[in-house]
Amino acid sequence: MTAPTASATDATATTAAVEALGATAAGTPAGAPGSAAGTPAGTPGSAAGTPGSAAGVPGRAVVEPLGSRFQHLLAATTSSNLADGVLQVGVPLLALTLTRSPLEIAAASAAATLPWLLLSLPVGVAVDRFDRVRLLAGATALRVATLVGATAAAVTGVLSMPVLLALLLVLGVAEVVADSSSGALVPSVTPRSRLNAANSRLLGAQQLANAFLGGPAAGLLLGLGTGWLFGVPAGLCALTLLAVVRGLWGRVAPPVPSSAGADGTGLREGLEFVLRHRVVRPLLLTSTAMNFASSAYFAVFVLWVVGPGSAVGLPAPLFGVLTAILAVGALLGAVVTERLVRRFDEARLIGAALLVQAVLLVLPVVLPTVPALVVMGFFIGFANMVGNVVSRSLRQRLIPDRLLGRVGGASTLLAYGAMPLGALTGGAVGGAFGLPAVFVGAAAVSTAMVVWTLLSVNRVTIEQAEREAADR
């Protein structure tokens, strides 16, 4: 089962990047990749100047089409996340055949997420300075090459734990660039009036491909042979590259050239915006703490669940089915989010989504059974999707487009950078004090941060932030 992690951009609770060993991101940090400040009026994909009612039909709202560029971005997201889903479930199962050490298992998760800690800021500046489509294409090409190399290592029998860790590091680097670039492209290919719809489709596709399809497929592929575990994702990433080149290359205006980051001011500007913002700051700090806790939790979760010596005793081929349960909840969340937004204010929805995810982390400790895991997966998936859609759309209204890459880099540095540290902490604590100590501690940290968020972000603070954004 993969962990919905809190994203700085999407921000809610437990998304992190494409991580092996369960700590993945179902979201993206506040202002981070995947978030998009609104598109400037008159730019491609902006809704400026679009009439609010159909000509000659007063009161009937015009529904702008999402367009072919968005459809290609959606296709690329789907195929990429299908590859991610296979790896997120398959790599921890593969690691179990190489070691049973909690620390070594956690090291695989840390290797996949360490690039977020090291590269988020410079990559964020690059996203604001260079062509985002070309960055996405280059990172995807690197993923294809790395996965082809992993397939060769598996087929020739030279795949070991050190080799696996090196491969995950390279894949992590490619992911930082790809996720940052694709997230920043959303407002450029989407009408502003359809941001909620676009985000729901993107996040729904991510969950469908990642957890519902990719996770269950991982066990089957691993049963066919380790080479299939890497070969199929290599082919899927090649399809991603094809969608990017055919549908986006030359069809999206690059960011306005600037000297951001040349003297370090770009990095500081992104950090200062995040840490001073009345809404982004508390959501980011909460997502950072929850990503740390979630990464610790899910880095060793497979040891608690899989195998005859585990607390649950789940057969390895069924481990991927748990991700499908999470995906079912997430897809339902994607369907109903727009209705929920019409009935409840955003702050309450985000707070409720965070609280559900935090509290449910203790369930497998209290009830180490398959039914309890099913309940946990479904409701965490639902809550994470609702929270991510709402918070992502909120940030897309609050963060200036000119700061998108830098704010994203600063946000992911904190929110995703906490993940490798959390994973290693989970492995160390689990080895020293037992796995229940990891799970209960993660739930306690998450719950405390949720309470702080509920006290810090409300309708008034959001309205004030929106007025400030309009004045910029």
Taking alpha carbons only, the member of 233, 206, 192 closest to residue 91 is 233
pLDDT tens for 388-438 read: 888 877 877 788 777 766 777 777 778 878 888 999 999 999 999 999 999
Which token pair is 444? 């306690």
> Is residue 351 within a helix (H) or strand (E), and if so which, with residue range?
helix 346-360
- What is the structure's pLDDT at 61? 57
pLDDT tens for 83-141 read: 998 998 899 889 888 888 888 888 888 888 888 888 877 887 888 888 888 999 999 99
pLDDT class of 51 with cuts at 50, 70, 90: very low
Which token pair is 124? 């964020």
Alpha carbons 461 and 59: distance in angstroms, whole number: 31
Kindly state the average pLDDT of the residues 147-153: 96
- What is the structure's pLDDT at 164? 94
The answer, yes or no, to whether residue 439 has pLDDT greater than 90, is yes
Least confidently predicted of 247-256, 373-382, 422-431: 247-256
Kindly state the average pLDDT of the residues 196-219: 80
Phi, psi of 66 (to 5 degrees): -70, -30
pLDDT class of 368 with cuts at 50, 70, 90: very high
Taking alpha carbons only, the member of 218, 357, 368 closest to residue 301 is 368
The answer, yes or no, to whether residue 40 has pLDDT greater than 80, is no
- What is the structure's pLDDT at 367? 94
- What is the structure's pLDDT at 1? 59
pLDDT tens for 2-12 read: 555 554 444 33
The DSSP code sequence of 280-310 is HHHHHHHHHHHHHHHHHHHHSHHHHHBSTTS
- What is the structure's pLDDT at 146? 96
| Cβ atoms 35, 270 nearer than 8 A | no
- What is the structure's pLDDT at 267? 64
pLDDT tens for 171-204 read: 999 999 998 888 778 777 777 667 667 777 887 7
pLDDT class of 23 with cuts at 50, 70, 90: very low
pLDDT class of 265 with cuts at 50, 70, 90: low
The answer, yes or no, to whether residue 375 has pLDDT greater than 60, is yes
| Cβ atoms 241, 144 nearer than 8 A | yes
Report percent pLDDT > 70 for the chain: 82
pLDDT tens for 334-343 read: 888 888 988 8
Taking alpha carbons only, the member of 80, 85, 82 closest to residue 241 is 80
Higher pLDDT, 142 or 217: 142
CATH of the domain spanning 67-471:
1.20.1250.20
Kindly state the average pLDDT of the residues 311-336: 84
Neighbours of 431 (CB within 10 A): 17
pLDDT tens for 269-296 read: 777 888 888 888 898 899 899 999 999 9
Give bridge partners of residue 29 from the DSSP assignment.
9
Kindly state the average pLDDT of the residues 218-237: 92
* Measured CA angle at 223 (ends 222, 228), to 5 deg: 45
The DSSP code sequence of 254-265 is PPPP--TTTTSH
- Cβ neighbours for 374, distance < 8 A, ≥ 6 positions apart: 322, 325
- What is the structure's pLDDT at 99? 83
**Would you say how long the chain is, in residues?**
472
The answer, yes or no, to whether residue 240 has pLDDT greater than 90, is yes
- What is the structure's pLDDT at 257? 57
pLDDT class of 19 with cuts at 50, 70, 90: very low
Alpha carbons 196 and 338: distance in angstroms, whole number: 7
